[in-house]
Structure 1
Amino acid sequence: MDQQLTSAATSHHHAIRVQPSDIDFMGHVNNANYLTWVQDAVLAHWRSIAPPQAVAEHLWVALKHEITYRRPAFLHDEVIATVILERIHGTRAFYDTIIRRGEEVLAEVKSSWCCVYAETLRPARIARDVAARFFGTTATD
């Protein structure tokens, strides 16, 4: 049976400052930039908790994003992307990301990612001890 790990994971807060290049013809952040922010936040979360060897040996590939836009972001806004790793299952990780400006929710994103070996780009299972770092528990079979 596949390894599955779920529990209350620690959230990770990733600060973002809106730049002129983020702004589209409508005067607010282009929707595509939110996906870049999610990717940056998820990868920062991985790098902040995973051991250096795991970071060096693995890459993450986005499989799916489901995004709900709530409010626009504007030039020079300071926003926070809060990522929560919901679960790990085999080679996949499932994240919730909430992008806020202060108390305002700008976007909510559900995403799934596949871990791959950096050298071969083949799918890689997340080692139990690495996964446990994100959840503060042990994996179950």
Structure 2
Amino acid sequence: MSKSQLNPPHLYPIAVDPADIDFMGHVNNASYLKWVQDAVIDHWRAFAPVEAVKQYLWVATTHSITYRRPTFLDDTVIAEVILEKVQGARAFYETVIKRGEEVLAEVKSSWCCIDADTMRPARLARELVEKFLPSSTTPAAQRQ
């Protein structure tokens, strides 16, 4: 069974706004970062209990973007978000931005979980991680 069958992607539709378009007539690189942030936060809100969404915040620590094709104003775009692993207070995501089956950009990013009250890094409880990563995809060290 593949990783995507065990942990299917979270789909996040993207609206290309006229403000996203640069002087070259396609989406500016900075817009991709906003899209990834919006998609990852939407993933968190879709799976986490309401109390966890209030208790924890996520901040990006790194992004690595590979641009494959330009994106244009009238394109129908979707982000496929996959949580690859959670390690301590960090989460590692892959986000693929697509127009139909055509890959426009691939993004690897890492995020730090922050306690909303203390603003300090916070580990998520195993039960909460399990909502995002079923046992069969969670590394053995995290399940203990």
TM-score clears 0.5: yes
1:119 Cα deviation after fit:
1.4
Give per-residue Cα distances to partners, 1:57-97, cap 9 Å, x unaligned.
10001000000000010012110000000000000000000
Runs of 4+ in 1 over 6 A off after TM superposition: none
- Check the 8 A contact 1:65/1:111 in 2, yes or no: yes
Higher relative contact order (CA 8 A, sep 6+): 1
Q: Distance in 2 between matches of 1:18 and 1:83?
A: 18
Q: 1:11 aligns with which of 4, 9, 17?
A: 9
Q: 2:30 aligns with which of 23, 29, 32?
A: 32
Q: Which runs of 5+ in 2 are unaligned?
A: 1-5
- Aligned-pair identity in percent equals 62
1:76 has 2:74 as partner: yes
Q: Distance in 1 between matches of 2:85 and 2:8?
A: 12
Correspondence list, 1:40-119, <5 A = 40-119=38-117
User: Which residue type is aligned with residue 126 of structure 1?
Assistant: L
1:140 Cα deviation after fit:
2.0
Q: Under a length normalisation based on structure 2, what TM-score does the superposition of the two structures give?
A: 0.90
Q: Distance in 2 between matches of 1:111 and 1:20?
A: 26
Q: Under a length normalisation based on structure 1, what TM-score does the superposition of the two structures give?
A: 0.92
Give per-residue Cα distances to partners, 1:90-127, cap 9 Å, x unaligned.
00000000000001100000000000011121001011
Q: Which runs of 5+ in 1 are unaligned?
A: 1-7
For residue 143 of structure 2, give the secondary structure of its aligned residue in structure 1. coil
- Per residue, is there more helix in 1 or in 2? 2
User: Which residue type is aligned with residue 66 of structure 1?
Assistant: S
**Partner in structure 2 of residue 125 of structure 1:** 123
1:11 Cα deviation after fit:
1.3
- Check the 8 A contact 1:64/1:112 in 2, yes or no: yes
Task: Give the total of aligned pairs.
Answer: 135
